[in-house]
Amino acid sequence: DGGITQSPKYLFRKEGQNVTLSCEQNLNHDAMYWYRQDPGQGLRLIYYSQIVNDFQKGDIAEGYSVSREKKESFPLTVTSAQKNPTAFYLCASRGDRGLYSQPQHFGDGTRLSIL
Amino acid sequence: AQSVAQPEDQVNVAEGNPLTVKCTYSVSGNPYLFWYVQYPNRGLQFLLKYITGDNLVKGSYGFEAEFNKSQTSFHLKKPSALVSDSALYFCAVRDGYGGATNKLIFGTGTLLAVQP
């Protein structure tokens, strides 16, 4: 089945540590997105990528970094500069870059907590 | 600037009764509107969208939504609620003139609780 796989499902970070969240899709989608979800705040866009080797900052990019070396993969690193990383992180993808009416497809998320 | 408002944090409805989850939006061009549902510890699942055409849009699991341009609303509806519909619902909007980014703006979510 085609879909988006996020791993791990749960992740714990120590103070001063960088952690990387994995997002892999086999939908052959060009565009990929990372969102952060906090209770009562909806989804906020961290980074997005419309094509391989290109990505842009979203609304809350500080303390995060990404790479897009392959079409299928869009890993997110939560750096030690992100002082409040505890949240539910969602990865999404969208196909047909020229058809902006297409919905985004989401993975099942990674829940990150501070130790 | 684009924005989406979901005025109700929670909606309670009895099983078998009709349900409505409200959404209003603000965009500079023609809106692309979406509804998603989220079950606990899961990602968002797409329910339906409005791009153009008929103001009443039908989607998955018996849900529908009515686009009202004059009221800038896109309320989600279902004629008869099921207990299994209990979940968190998100409305999202994209500005039709937004260029190549296709960024979505999400509302804060409405928790739907259906009582048996």
Q: Can you give the pLDDT of all 115 residues of chain A as single tens digits?
A: 679 999 999 999 888 899 999 999 999 998 999 999 998 788 999 999 988 999 999 999 999 999 999 999 999 999 998 989 999 999 999 986 556 677 889 999 999 998 8
Tell which residue, A84, A82, A83, A75, has the closest CA to residue A110: A75
pLDDT, residue B101, reads 60
- Count of C-beta atoms within a 10 Å radius of residue A84: 9
Least confident of A5-14, A70-79, B35-44, B96-105: B96-105
Least confident of A30-39, B90-99, B103-112: B90-99
pLDDT, residue B2, reads 83
A104/A28 Cα distance (integer angstroms): 13
Rg (CA), chain B: 14
Cross-chain Cβ contact A43/B90 below 8 Å: yes
Contact criterion met (CB below 8 Å) for B108 and B19:
no
pLDDT, residue B95, reads 65
In percent, the amount of chain B with pLDDT more than 90 equals: 78
Contact criterion met (CB below 8 Å) for A9 and A111:
yes
Using an 8 Å CB-CB cutoff, list chain B residues near A58.
Answer: 103
Distance from CA of A71 to the nearest CA of B (A): 17
Interface probe with A: pick from B104, B105, B108, most Cβ of A within 10 Å: B104
- pLDDT value at B80 more than 80: yes
Tell which residue, B104, B81, B69, B91, has the closest CA to residue B7: B91
Cross-chain Cβ contact A103/B34 below 8 Å: yes
B11/A66 Cα distance (integer angstroms): 37
Q: Burial of A44 by CB count in 10 Å (0-12 exposed, 13-18 middle, 19+ buried)? A: middle
- pLDDT value at B36 more than 90: yes
pLDDT, residue B45, reads 96
Average pLDDT score, chain B: 92
